[in-house]
Amino acid sequence: MKEQIRNHISDRAIANPSQVIELCRSQDVQMVDFRFTDVIGTWQHFSSPVTELDESMFVEGVGFDGSSIRGFQRIDESDMILLPDAASALVDPLLRIKTLLLTCDVYDPVTRQRYTRDPRFIAQKAERYLTTSGIATTSYWGPEAEFFVFDDVRYDLRQHTSSYSVDSAEGIWNSGRDEKPNLGHKPRHKEGYFPAPPADSLQDFRSGLVLKMQEAGIEVEVHHHEVASAGQCEIDMRFDTLTEMGDRMMLYKYLVKMYAKEHFKAATFMPKPIFGDNGSGMHCHQSLWKDGTNLFFDASGYAQTSELARWYIGGLLAHSDALMAFCAPTTNSYRRLVPGYEAPVNLVYSQRNRSAAVRIPVYSTSPRSKRIEYRPPDGTANPYLAFAAMLLAGLDGIRKQIEPGEPMDVDLYELPEAEAAKIRQVPGSLDAALAALEGDHAFLLEGDVFTKDLIETWIEYKRRKEVDFVRMRPHPAEFFLYFDT
């Protein structure tokens, strides 16, 4: 199966427009779906009958209204075009009408230049900058995006009322519910990792989802239930290059949500949908390579890591406050990143240690497996922007030879209060992360990867549409605490 997948990916990598059209003929495709990612990180799309697809679309592009897309154009400059990437072509494994998916790049129709706010363009520029830096030729990425699968989701937000409710048949709070009959086997809080079925009620769900992912050309290494009760899951994809993994993350999130809906369930990558149980993160494994050699490996180094890897870690830690604006980019992200609750908030590094922001896995002594894992990000991140930002932070660390300090091979959650207070931590809110990005973004501008316009747009949107949106509204917990004052 793995060899078949590799062949499929290889075929996609050499695809051209004529091959795409031939694929449509051979697969009896009826619709073509043009997809692109907005600034915030949501897949957008529109479709055409396959009879409208011709090779000129890959050169001339397809028009759309950029003013209706979050973070894109003003209404007086709304016309934009998409150029499909032929190498991205794949047949959607879930839609009932056979549909070809094409990932597209965004262009300005007047200048015919790439659009600076296209997140995929930023990822591609980051890869080009890595090559021109002379430091490495390739970066590899392996995100572990966790998600919840619920059986019922309800929320309401009005001027005079607000509420939310999520439910799962395996939620421990349903252990006493009359289910005619209730068969038990519901994972207790923080005990969802790794009990076998029937406690893991989503085994077949995840296996079926993995098969669909493989149909779409995604290599999957492992899937399992995660720590929290109530349907927390993880499916790990095989590592790949930065832009390719950004594409794959967008497809992965789409397939997870679509497959859940097909099974009358709802999937979410929201970091903290349940109080008092583990949240969902997106731990990001990353490494730098040059001409087939892993630059992060040194047999004599700490945890078999090189000096270059140490400086890369130094860059990640030094810029973490600003990185959180892209890596943990929602107000809900900071319901997960809370000190003292087994969250990866401590800006230190260590081998094997999941209480540190940067963990160095030591499962294998193979030079090819050496990597570092940055743990604060979560699945609400726009993967193109988050991966690019982390890469630039690491490269800044290498250029400036930023030392990350001494590794901390201790349980950071159990440190005495006086020692714990000395450890720098990630920002405590999205607002604080955005303020940090305002003051520390020169490293993102290197190589013109990010632009000031994109950063300013990000900060303004997040503050106005998310931070203020939440900050201005009464919270149900405030009624609990303060109504009788």
| Alpha-carbon gap, residue 113 to 110, rounded angstroms | 8
| Alpha-carbon gap, residue 343 to 356, rounded angstroms | 9
Active-site residue 65, yes or no?
yes
Amino acid at 5: I
Provide the phi-psi class of 255: left if phi over 0, else alpha when psi is between -120 and 50, else beta: alpha
Contact 234, 224 (CB under 8 A): yes
Annotated catalytic residue within 12, 206, 283, 371: 283
Active-site residue 419, yes or no?
no
Active-site residue 127, yes or no?
no
Annotated catalytic residue within 234, 240, 244, 277: 234
Burial group, residue 408, by CB count within 10 angstroms (0-12, 13-18, 19+): middle
- Tell me how far CA of residue 407 lies from CA of 314, 346, 391, 402, in angstroms: 11, 12, 21, 14
What does DSSP say about strands 349-351 and 220-225: parallel, antiparallel, or unpaired?
unpaired
Active-site residue 144, yes or no?
yes
| Alpha-carbon gap, residue 207 to 261, rounded angstroms | 16
Q: Is 53 strand, coil or helix?
A: coil
Annotated catalytic residue within 38, 170, 200, 226: 226
Active-site residue 179, yes or no?
no
Contacts of 155 (CB under 8 A, 6+ apart): 163, 164, 165
Q: Which tokens is 478 given?
A: 């405030």
Strand partners, 104: 84
Annotated catalytic residue within 92, 277, 373, 378: 373
Annotated catalytic residue within 65, 79, 179, 221: 65
Report the candidate in 308, 271, 269 with the shortest Cα–Cα distance to residue 286. Answer: 308
Annotated catalytic residue within 12, 225, 285, 375: 375
CA 321, 325, 329: angle at the middle one, nearest 5?
135
| Alpha-carbon gap, residue 75 to 462, rounded angstroms | 20
Annotated catalytic residue within 8, 45, 189, 354: 354
Annotated catalytic residue within 38, 85, 118, 146: 146
Active-site residue 375, yes or no?
yes
DSSP per position, 156-219: EE-SS-EEEEEE-TT-GGGTTS--SS-----PPTT--SSPPTTTSTTHHHHHHHHHHHHHTT--
Active-site residue 226, yes or no?
yes
Annotated catalytic residue within 144, 219, 244, 321: 144
Report the candidate in 368, 372, 367, 398 with the shortest Cα–Cα distance to residue 299. Answer: 367
Report the candidate in 57, 46, 44 with the shortest Cα–Cα distance to residue 99. Answer: 46
**Residues annotated catalytic, as ranges:** 65, 144, 146, 226, 234, 283, 354, 373, 375
